[in-house]
Every structure is written in structure tokens, then in C-alpha cells.
Amino acid sequence: MKRTVIRMLDEAAEKWGEAPYALRKTDAGYVPVSFSKARESARELAAWLLSQGFRMGDAFAVLGEGSPEWIVGELGLTLAGCVSVPLSIKLLEEEIPFRLNHSEAKGILTTKNQLTKVLAAFARARNWQLRVVYLDADPGWARAVAAEHGVASDRVIGFDEALAAGRAALSAFAAELRRIADATEEDDTVTICYTSGTTGNPKGIMLTHLNYWTNIHDGVKAIPIPEGWRTLIILPVDHSFAHTAGLYTALVCGFSMYFVDSRGGGVGTLRNIPKNLLDSNSHFLFTVPTLSGNFMRKIIAGVEEKGGLIQKLFQTGIAAGIARNGNGCNKPPLHVRLKSFLPCALARLLIFRKVKRAVFGRNIRFCVGGGALLDVKQQEFFAALGVPIYQGYGLTEAAPIISANTPTRHKFGTSGPVFQSIECRFVMPDGSPAATGEKGELVIRGGNVMKGYFKNPEATALALRDGWLYTGDLAYVDQDGFLVVVGREKALLIGEDGEKYSPEEIEEAVTFSTDVVDQIMASCDHKKYTAALVTLDTGKVERRVKSLGIASAPDLLALLLAELNRYRADPKARKVQPAWAPFVFQIVTEPFSDRDGTMNSTMKIVRHRIAEVHRGLLEYSYTREGSKTDNPRNLAALRALFKLP
């Protein structure tokens, strides 16, 4: 039988039936859509699409917050033989038209929070007949807003209206749906996922039925998820990690997906996460470093507020847990395990269980991390707490997971073993193979590798060579068989002499050794030395100011300078070649954010954009005054942030 998403949906509906697949938060609580209902609704939407003249191969964009309707919408497109183009809700209005035009989209599924932005983008869309399927429950409002933007009301249909029309037309199109299912091949495109466009126009990654099938089944072998488990989907569903590991893997495992309540827009969504975590009582979570970092800061801040014995027990317990776990793979010496047993056991009994329940609910077992490299400090912290994060690595071009740590085999500071079905090798800049343990560009081959970039043969030829995907990431396999990714091949620091070095290694070393840094970007563009831009964890610094009685900006800057340089003497931090260690740190008062493009939709820093936004500060780093961290601009930044003289 052909390995397709359609087959996965059919088998899930038959196997899991009325079990909850996707749940939306309403005033009455979470309302489920079962596996069988999702398939039924997807068939109805597919019938409506066919009745409107859409055909196999037509592209349809999806831009909205995660919800059962989002899932059914994409599955309906797949059943109709159409191609889904999932778009990030963080896209700016001016970024949408390129994706609509380039993908040749015939329509878009969207939500109340995104409708105005979508309609405004239509003015620059080539296809003036784009249809809008409105995923929320007030289509009358949507048509009124469309009219204000000069979009005819008959181009907008409510999701429930489309399902009702499809239900009425289903018998007439049942044979066509069967024909499409039979005609669908494993190599047919399911989605066109656009890169975040950190350099030039974004590329449309074509992922096929076989790509998804392969990656999902590899993932299930690595981390089996029991039937009936629950998870809160916090990540955007256009994110390839959430898309594959969540939406589609649930069809194979039978777990339930609760979606964060998005009513109230972006700010409301963020506020709803803590409550929705408790509502869902998730057994596991998909996370990215930014999200897990927020959890970590919230937990530590909450314990510090209680102070006294609770804080002491917590800190001692975390330290003991870290010592006891070692690197997760190789057990520490017996005397370390014996010494750490009692403080670890006491903390688990008296503190950790309550902390976990207060933040994650009563069922949490573990998290699966992706999206970006997760620093060792977070991995150690959460493992000690009893909510381990099993970090993986991948990229959308690989559908997206290439490797993952698992409950049975994991090692902190690594991205886990490469999936069984994937061949990998490491290539030096001259094309020769890297020696064992030597860093080289990771190159992979397997059923999860993309079909190519849509309408971009030049980029496809660079990325895919003889069936091998050149990831652009520098990596190696360590002595225990774990993949270690050290940074982007092209995201390099370049010295005056042309020597190159990975900035991620520096950034990880600094953030591992101190908890006052929130974000960091190391920079050296053919300069004499490396400069680093940092944003601070203001809550942590404020507590440090209060506890130490720091009364002036110069005193605080002296403390921070010591903190920023702790990595140099930290034996557990990643070693940084002295020539590339940051010579100066500059404090940025506003966090890097997707609002100004300094972070992309997957919460990775966009280096060229940060360099553009903070060009003046980087240039200042190479002046006589700015070449020392103890400089007037850093003092001014601290005065502004912490109201110190």
C-alpha cells in the first residue's frame, strides 16, 4: 500500500474512532473533535473544494492559529489533491504577497486574528480571485471586514458553511475523492513550507507524502507515545516541528492535541498558556529553547520569591540532580551518586512534585525539544526537576527531524542519535569526508528529504546533490554515537585574516555559564576581535541587585562583566578558542523579537537583521571608547533598565 497522509488519516479514523484528536478551548471548556469526525469533516471540505472548481495540484494557503479547524482544513486540501501552503502568523503584511504569488495560491484559510492582515495583503496578490475560507464562527463579520477592503463578500465563506455545502455535495463527488486517493503518489507534494527568509526571498520547501510518512514513523520508533496521551500544542502549527511531530504523528499514535486558546490575539494567547497547561494536563510537550527558557525562568523566580528553606531545598536538589544525572548517557562515579541521593530524593518529595504540577499539570512526563539548539544548562535543569527535555535536531528540508534524544538513550549537549532510516556523512569545505569526530557539513539521504524548492531549480541544485541533502550545519558524531551540531556553516565569524569560527559555540558557552543573559549574538565581520550583543534577564538581574544591595550602574556593570566572562573558567562550558572569545559585550535594552525581524517565526535570531538594527552599536564596539565593556553606553543601558544612578 502507498505510504500517504491520506492512508494515515483513514487508518486513524478506523483505529481511534471517537477518541479525541484535536480540542479547541471555548467558554464551556475544551471541545473535542474525534479522529473519525476530523476525517468526515475533511472529506466534506474536500467535496466543497471540488465543487468550486479546485483541482489536484492547486495550492491553498493556511494562515491562522492552531485549532481543530486548521487541521481539518489542511487534511481537506490533501483529500482534494490540493497543496497546503502553511504560513506563519508572525508574518508581516508585506511578507504575505510573495508567498501567495510564488506558490500560485488559489485561496487561503485564515482566522479572525489574521483576517485584516490577510485582506490588506490581497492588494499585492496577483490572483485577484483568491477565495477566503474563514475558520472562526462569525463569517458575517468576516464578510463585512472584507467589504471594507474591497473584497467581494462572495469570495469569503465560513468554515462551517463550506462544510455544510460539502456535505450536500459529498455524494456527487465521492467517486472523485476515491479517484484522487488512488491517484495520489508517495512523491506528490503535500505542503509547500516557506523558509523564514533570513536572506533574500524565502524558498518554498516541497514536502511529500513519503517525506511525512518516513519522518513520522522514524519518530514513533524513537519516542513511542502511548494511545490516549495528551499534549498542549503551544508551537505555531505552521512550524515544521509541530506540523510533523504533532498534527500528523497523532494520526499514528492516537494522542490528543489541545490547542492554546488564541482568543484575544497574540498577547491573549501568551497569557492563556499557563492556564491551558493545567487544563490539558499534558503528558508531554513539544517545545523550543525560547519556550523552555521561559518555563525555567518562571520556575526559578517562583521559588526565589518563597525564599528560605524552600529555596534552599530546591537549589540543593537541582544541583544534586544535575550531579546525579551526569551527562545523561554515562553514569557519574558511585560516590557522586551516593552523595547526591538524599538531597535529590528530598527535593523530589517535598518540592519538585509541587513545582511540576503547578506549572505543567499532574501528568507531565517529558518534553521533546526542537527548533533551535538547546543549551546544556536547560537540559540539565529540567532533567534534575524530573521533566526531561529530549532535544532533537532537524530542518524543514528534512521534514524536519534528523536526530533526537529519547527516554532510553540521551546525552546532554547533543542532538541524539540520527534516525534509523537516515544515512549521514560529514563533508569538509573541499568536498572530502571529515575524519571521525571532526566537524564537517552534515549531509543526509533518506525518505524524509524534501522533493526540492518550488520553482527554484538553482537553490534545489545547491541543496540536493545526487540525492544527498546538504544541510549547511556543521556537526560531528561523538564517541557515544550522538550527533553534535555546532552551528551553521555559513553563520561564521570571519577575522581580519579570513579565519572562520562558529558564533553558536561562543553563544552557548556564555549562556551556559551565567543566568543573567537572555539573548546573545556574537559578531566579527573581518574585524580585529569578536563583539557580542546581549539582552539581559531583567527579572534575574533585578533580584541580584536587590539581594546584593547594588546601588549604582557602575557597580552593576562590574558584576555583569564578571558574569559574562564566567564561561572562560567554567570547566563544563563549551571551550572557545581564546582568539575568538568576545573582547567586548554591548547591552541591548530591547529583546530581539519577531516584531522588528531580529528573530524569525521559529524564534531563532536573524543575524543579518540584528546587525542591521544594531549597526551603530556594533560599530561602536570597534572604537576606543566602545572597545571596553565598561563603557558609557552600557552604563546608560543599565540606568535605563534598572533605574540606577
* pLDDT tens digit sequence for 473-497: 889 999 999 999 887 766 667 776 5
Mean pLDDT of the 147-172 span = 96
Residues of the chain with CATH 2.30.38.10: 288-446+467-488
How far, CA to CA in Å, does 421 sit from each of 213, 216, 447? 12, 11, 8
Confidence at residue 223, expressed as pLDDT on a 0 to 100 scale = 97
| 614 has a pLDDT exceeding 90 | yes
Q: How far apart are CA 320 and CA 490, in angstroms?
A: 39
* pLDDT range class, residue 412, cuts 50, 70, 90: very high
| 201 has a pLDDT exceeding 90 | no
Element (H, E) at 635: helix 632-642
> Domain 493-642 falls in which CATH fold?
GMP Synthetase; Chain A, domain 3 (3.30.300)
Confidence at residue 500, expressed as pLDDT on a 0 to 100 scale = 65
Q: How far apart are CA 85 and CA 189, in angstroms?
A: 10
β-strands 500-501, 483-488: how paired? unpaired
Task: Quick: pLDDT tens for 340-393.
Answer: 999 999 999 999 999 999 999 999 999 999 877 777 889 999 999 999 999 999
Q: How far apart are CA 76 and CA 547, in angstroms?
A: 57
Please give the share of the chain, as a percent, with pLDDT higher than 90. Answer: 80
List the beta strands (DSSP E) in 209-251: 230-233
Confidence at residue 600, expressed as pLDDT on a 0 to 100 scale = 78
- With helix as H, strand as E and coil as C, how does 248-310 read? HHHHHHCCEEEECCCCCHHHHHHHHHHHHHHHHCCCEEEECHHHHHHHHHHHHHHHHHHCHHH
Q: How far apart are CA 509 and CA 501, in angstroms?
A: 14
**Under a CB-based contact definition with an 8 Å cutoff, are residues 11 and 213 in contact?**
no
Mean pLDDT of the 400-426 span = 96
Per the CATH hierarchy, to which homologous superfamily does domain 288-446+467-488 belong?
Luciferase; Domain 3 (2.30.38.10)
How far, CA to CA in Å, does 19 sit from each of 16, 171, 507? 6, 26, 44
Task: Quick: pLDDT tens for 259-293.
Answer: 999 998 888 888 999 999 999 999 999 998 888 98
Residues of the chain with CATH 3.30.300.30: 493-642
In the CATH hierarchy, which top-level class contains the domain 5-269?
alpha beta
Across the beta sheet with 530-536, the strand order is: 517-523, 530-536, 582-587
Q: How far apart are CA 240 and CA 190, in angstroms?
A: 13
Task: Quick: pLDDT tens for 524-567.
Answer: 877 888 999 999 999 999 998 999 999 999 999 999 999 999 98
86 grid coordinates: 502553511
Q: How far apart are CA 189 and CA 454, in angstroms?
A: 10
Task: Quick: pLDDT tens for 485-531.
Answer: 887 766 667 776 556 677 888 888 898 889 899 999 999 877 888 99
Cis peptide upstream of residue 400 (ω within 30 degrees of 0): yes
Q: How far apart are CA 523 and CA 406, in angstroms?
A: 34
State which amino acid sits at residue 346. Answer: L
Identify any residues that bridge with 445 across adjacent strands, giving them in sequence order.
Answer: 423
Confidence at residue 602, expressed as pLDDT on a 0 to 100 scale = 67
Residues of the chain with CATH 3.40.50.12780: 5-269
**Under a CB-based contact definition with an 8 Å cutoff, are residues 54 and 84 in contact?**
no
